[in-house]
């Protein structure tokens, strides 16, 4: 066999190989159907959720008293509002913004309440949907941003080791309530 016919054979084999690879690639790509996953949009009527929350706890004639607020959420209403205000001023996530259609998004009150409910009750993220009108992934995002915001804004003051004055105050409170010497352990082992 001459070298020119050998080169022709090699060229022909290269062409065949390229055709086979291209055909195989095209078959694979045509066989794959790219199903764009669509999220199920649920109109939650978030404005009604904010109004219900406001009327239940924060209006002049609130449905539930401040005593019930404290019992349900493990903090006073004044402390909660201080947290909401601080987060909405300093953490962009908690600012109420308009979406692309011009409609207002979730209020800072709804976002903070979602996080506090999850923390206070230790429940799943989807449990706040029916009352506060926000989805599971949004509730988890609220919780994440809430904890980061609290650490950022209040960590130096409240999330620190107690001073001697703090310890004495805690010991006095504990003794008054019938738990003398109780500092350092929630499970009463120290």
User: Is the alpha carbon torsion for 136, 141, 146, 148 positive or negative?
Assistant: positive
Instruction: State the Cα–Cα distance between residues 84 and 11, nearest whole angstrom.
Output: 73
Tell me the domain boundaries of the chain. Answer: 46-159, 161-190
Which pLDDT value is given to residue 185?
59
Instruction: State the Cα–Cα distance between residues 65 and 171, nearest whole angstrom.
Output: 31
Nearest CA to 50 among 103, 86, 123? 103
Q: What angle do CA 171, 173, 176 make, to 5 degrees?
A: 105
Instruction: State the Cα–Cα distance between residues 149 and 119, nearest whole angstrom.
Output: 14
Which pLDDT value is given to residue 38?
73
Instruction: State the Cα–Cα distance between residues 160 and 25, nearest whole angstrom.
Output: 61
Per-residue pLDDT tens digits of the chain, which is 190 residues long: 556 677 788 888 888 888 888 888 777 777 666 666 677 777 788 888 899 999 999 999 999 999 999 998 889 999 999 999 999 999 999 999 988 888 888 999 999 999 999 998 888 888 888 888 888 999 999 999 999 999 999 988 888 888 889 888 888 888 888 877 777 655 555 4
pTM above 0.85, yes or no: no
The pair of three-digit structure tokens given for residue 120, joined into one six-digit string: 């206070």
Which pLDDT value is given to residue 42?
78
């Amino acid at each position: 066999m001459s070298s020119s016919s050998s080169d022709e054979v090699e060229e022909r084999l290269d062409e065949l190989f390229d055709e086979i690879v291209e055909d195989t690639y095209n078959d694979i790509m045509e066989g794959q159907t790219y199903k764009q996953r669509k999220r199920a949009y649920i109109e939650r009527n978030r404005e009604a959720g904010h109004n219900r929350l406001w009327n239940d706890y924060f209006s002049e004639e609130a449905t539930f008293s401040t005593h019930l607020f404290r019992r349900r959420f493990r903090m006073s209403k004044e402390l909660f509002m201080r947290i909401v205000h601080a987060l909405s001023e300093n953490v962009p996530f908690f600012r109420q913004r308009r979406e692309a259609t011009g409609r207002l998004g979730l209020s800072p009150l709804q976002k903070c309440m979602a996080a506090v409910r999850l923390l206070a009750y230790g429940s799943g993220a989807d449990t706040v949907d029916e009352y506060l009108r926000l989805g599971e992934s949004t509730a988890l995002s609220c919780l994440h941003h809430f904890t980061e915001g609290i650490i950022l804004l209040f960590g130096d003051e409240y999330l620190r080791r107690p001073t001697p004055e703090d310890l004495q105050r805690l010991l006095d409170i504990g003794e008054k309530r019938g738990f003398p010497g109780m500092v350092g352990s929630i499970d009463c082992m120290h």
